[in-house]
Structure 1
Amino acid sequence: MKNPLVERTTMQRQTQLQRWLCEQYPNRPFELTFAAADADYRRYFRATFADGRTVICMDAPPEKMRESVLNYLKIRDLFSHLNVPTVLAKNLDDGFIVLNDLGDTQYLKAMQMHPNDLAAHKALLLEAIDALIELQKSSQPNTLPEYDHEKLLAEVNLFPDWFVAKELNKEFNFKQRQLWQEGIAALLPVIEAQPKVYVHRDFIVRNLMLTRDRVGVLDFQDALYGAITYDLVSLLRDAFIEWDEEFVLDLVVRYWEKARAADLPVPVEFDVFYRWFEFTGVQRHLKVAGIFARLWHRDGKDKYRPEIPRFLNYLRRTTRRYQELAPIYALLLELVGDEELQTGYTF
């Protein structure tokens, strides 16, 4: 059910944005159309001018998003060697930013247009891997906040707090709480011990743009300094598209080879690196399942809820492969069983 107050506020914001844009582009008529919305409170509009040129306008209500916008601007400068949006104008008091337009073809959209062309998918993902390596090569300590134990633990706890408690309407019993604690105690040290680089934190095909130049990179405002496998997991074990494990394994090998050639701090033994990749994936999948449940039960956003089963499938496949993660696998079996669950959209 639509909330009239929310709708009225939304329209007021759009009108306010339109007025401000008229001041930025006097005597240049434009049409303002909705372009996209994030899981948080940000929305994006496309302004199309009479000559066909376009810009993207970010609407980020300052009472909710000011810190996020400041982070966006700071990290945009830090990541400026990548193909990230250029800031053309900004009004931080009102929460508006004008950016150059990287187009409307997400990697996800391009892949969905050709769902069975795995060669095309692979080519796009290899371009994304090249961009990721370029990002990681620029990493410097003490520039971004650490992706530390406290942060990793808070993220995995979204799983019991939101997926288990709200989506399943359950609470851990004593045995399940023990399994959870044993599993997390085995999981997090493997992630924390990895070499650290800049981590985008949502390096997924919905945040990568197909442009005439190189891959465009969006939604980087939450970047941290953390485990070298994190963004690779985000890319290859995605929320909205899924590939066979053999396909993913091949791309992990390709990344590892490119990373070694670039002198990034990856281990000489691929099996060690792949174990890092898998353990980091478990942390991220637990987090995302919790976030998607929270988006529905707290925020009323149901767009992401149908994808939760994909992450449960990822979790079971990975945790049953490693003895250290057996407690998490046992817990998952008690909570959701061992049958592969259907998701909203798969390939």
Structure 2
Amino acid sequence: MELINLHKTLKRLPQSPFSSEAVVVPLEGASSDLKYYRVKEDDISMIFLETVGEKSMFHSFIHIGHFLKEKGIGVPEIYHYDLGQCIALIEDLGDASLYSKFSDEKNKGEFIAFYQKVLETLAEIQVRGAEGMKQCPMLKDRIFDYQVLCWETSYFKRYFLQRYCNLSIENEERLDQEFRYLAQNLASEPLYFMHRDFQSQNVFIKDKKIRLIDFQGAHQGMLHYDLVSLLKDAYIVIPDHIREKLMDYYLDILKNHWKLDIHRERFEITFNLAGLQRNMQALGAFSFLSLVKGKERFRQYIPAGVDYLRSALKEIPGFDALREILARPLVYGWISC
């Protein structure tokens, strides 16, 4: 939306506090469906949100935002919205994302304590969000099932392997069979609230509290996917020994605070499988965003995503077709670009 039109739109929003003198700054984000602008005037700052893709994703943002707010989860306050125009004014959470805080070494000493706090929030949103999610209009029929899991690996194959790496897959059916096996295993897990993009750029700190954005893609799904999105995040690579410590902390929260009966060994096996799934999805997304959307900055995160895949395959038997593809020299050449 052009800034002139945005000012006019702001005036039409009921109870909008902004005049034509408001300063509007577009904000960068990975979402293909929603666009964010920071709007400031005097001592008031809010985020203007509009849809640039499917209208259903805007509706999801509003409905799921209200659902999580009622559960006491730290999501942005939604001040004003128009479902017809797919626009809204929401709370400005500032610029202090988990990524901005820990993408360099300056706050290294606070890392574990902050991540433990984020894991407490993750466990809360997963368990408390599961209560009543079948009554939420945008969640009741949205399940992270076999079909969705297969869509993600197909997305990886199309945008990362075939388009980004320009690979010709000789025995595609063999690879697809591995992807179907992976989907079958993950689809059998119990369902909780799943953010689906719980990574460092979507977690904010405001007034010393954890706040979450970009939850419009939420599903009913497994515990492991959001956990692996955070602990095997291509934006912030966590050393293995710290990741293990953080996983222990998370599992203790589930067991001691939320009284979930978690089998540690089985959980770790599924965590590694979910790591394959999530990082294939992320590589597909990075490739799509850089090649199709022209967002070149996402190329820099591709090597970390491939490293996570190789690391997970060391812990998991099978998946020989995927191993062979990731070992090809052509993949090495493209990910270093």
Indicate whether the TM-score tops 0.5.
Answer: yes
The one-letter code sitting in structure 2 at the alignment partner of 1:283 is Q
For residues 148-227 of structure 1, the aligned pairs below 5 Å read: 148-174=145-171, 177-227=172-222
2:254 corresponding residue in structure 1 = 259
Match of 1:328 among 275, 299, 322: 322
What is the rounded CA distance, in whole Å, between the counterparts of 1:148 and 1:191 in structure 2? 8
Deviations 1:262-308 (A, max 9, x none): 3454523x222111111101001111111211122222222212211
> Helix, strand or coil: the match of 1:147?
coil
1:71 to 60, 63, 67: 60
Give the C-alpha shift of residue 119 in structure 1.
Answer: 3.4
TM-score (norm 1): 0.86
Secondary structure of 2:294's aligned partner: coil
Q: Return the offset for 1:154.
A: 0.6
Greater mean alpha carbon deviation, residues 16-25 or residues 195-204: 16-25
Task: Indicate how the Cα distance of structure 1 residues 83 and 69 shifts in structure 2: closer, same or farther if over 3 A, else same.
Answer: same
Is the aligned partner of 1:122 residue 2:112?
A: yes
Structure 1's 259 and 91: CA in aligned 2 closer, same or farther, altered over 3 A? same
Distance in 2 separating the partners of 1:329 and 1:83: 40
- Which runs of at least 4 in structure 1 moved beyond 4 Å after TM superposition? 26-29, 335-339
Conserved in 1, the CA contact under 8 Å of 2:97 and 2:201? yes
1:136 pairs, out of 126, 135, 141, with 126
Residues 169-218 of structure 1 show CA distances to partners (whole Å, capped at 9, x for unaligned) of 222112xx244134224322331222210000011111111111420111
Q: Measure how far apart 1:338 and its partner are.
A: 7.5
**TM-aligned CA deviation for residue 54 of structure 1:** 1.6
Match of 1:319?
313
How many angstroms apart in 2 are the aligned matches of 1:243 and 1:333?
23
**Superposed displacement of residue 245, structure 1:** 1.1
SS in 1 for 2:73: coil
2:83 corresponds to which of 63, 72, 92: 92
In structure 2, C-alpha distance between the alignment counterparts of 1:192 and 1:35, rounded to whole Å = 35
User: CA shift at 1:320, angstroms?
Assistant: 2.4
> Would you say how many aligned residue pairs link Structure 1 and Structure 2?
328
State the one-letter code of the partner of 1:49. E
Q: In 2, Cα distance between the equivalents of 1:305 and 1:337? A: 13
Mapping 1:300-315, distance limit 5 Å? 300-315=294-309
2:286 equivalent in structure 1 = 292
Deviation per residue, 1:87-136 (Å, 9 max, x gap)? 11112333320112222211111113x52643311111111111111111
Identity %: 20
Answer yes or no: is the 8 Å Cα contact 2:48–2:89 preserved in 1: yes
TM-score relative to the length of structure 2 = 0.88
Residues 195 and 335 (structure 1), Cα distance of their counterparts in 2 relative to 1, 3 Å cut? farther
Letter in structure 2 aligned against 1:311: G
Q: 1:335 to 1:16 in 2, by over 3 A?
A: farther
1:250 maps onto 2:242 in alignment: no
1:230 matched to 2:220? The reply is no
State the partner residue of 1:283. 277
1:70-102 deviation line (CA, Å, top 9, x unaligned)? 111110112111111111111233332011222
When residues 301 and 262 of structure 1 are mapped into structure 2, their CA distance, relative to the original with a 3 A threshold, is: same
CA distance in 1, matches of 2:329, 2:160: 10
Per the alignment, do residues 168 and 28 of structure 1 end up closer, same or farther by CA in structure 2, a change over 3 Å counting? closer
Cα distance between partner residues in 2 of 1:219 and 1:239: 17
1:37 and 2:29 correspond: yes
Matches of 1:305 and 1:13, distance apart in 2: 33
Query: Matched residues in 1 for 2:272 and 2:313: separation?
Result: 9
Where 2:80 maps in the other structure, the secondary structure is strand
| Structure 1: unaligned runs, 5 residues or longer | 1-8
Partner of 1:6: none
State the match for 1:4 in structure 2.
none
CA RMSD of aligned residues (A): 2.6
CA distance in 1, matches of 2:87, 2:332: 47
2:299 & 2:46 partners in 1: Cα distance? 31
Deviation at 1:142, TM superposition (A): 2.9
Amino acid at match of 1:71: S
